Amino acid sequence: MSDDVVAIRPEAPGDEEAIDGVVREAFIRQFGSDSEVGLVRTLRSRGELVPELTLVATIDGHIVGFIAFSEVTLDGERAGGLGLAPVAVAPDRQGLGIGGALIRAGLERATDTGWRFVVLLGHDHYYPRFGFAPAAPAGVQGDYGEGASWMARPLGDHELVPGHVRYCSAFRD
């Protein structure tokens, strides 16, 4: 990471506009779309974000990164599973380890609070460094296909349980 001190904390009331800005800039730069801003707003308005795992990274009090987790079901039942999405870092702060710090902090907090597994749809060359592996070979199916970018990882001493994962309503609307 750079010489700037990065602090990670849960999202707080009043952070919404800064988070929208970071998510918008990051996703427009990488994917040419800011639809993730709407996803975050919908997750928040429906109470589908896990508050203790919805984190921001700050430098000198300014939000420069964001990560969100929401509960997923396994075969239609609550099973202690989370979906990681999105993670975003301000474009001028990318490549400094902030995204990785957010992911590690989120996974550590999820483990500490008893969650059993995390799934995501993401870059198959990036997320394996955080313990993620393709989910389909472990029998973990989802609505996003079975390619290498559909990944999962167990938390703590838990093992992945085969089944069909479904994200919360904000991802389906």
Q: How open is the CA angle 78-112-9, to the nearest 5 degrees?
A: 105
Residue 17: exposure state from Cβ atoms within 10 A (0-12, 13-18, ≥19): exposed
Confidence of residue 146 (pLDDT cuts 50, 70, 90): confident
| pLDDT at position 69 over 90 | yes
Global pTM reads: 0.94
Mean pLDDT calculated for residue range 14-19 = 97
Mean pLDDT calculated for residue range 90-114 = 97
| pLDDT at position 16 over 70 | yes
Q: Which residues pair with 63 in a beta bridge?
A: 58
Picking from 4, 6, 18, 167, the residue whose alpha carbon sits closest to that of residue 99 is 6
Domains and CATH numbers, the chain: 6-172 (3.40.630.30)
pLDDT at residue 144 in the model: 82
| pLDDT at position 142 over 90 | yes
| pLDDT at position 1 over 70 | no
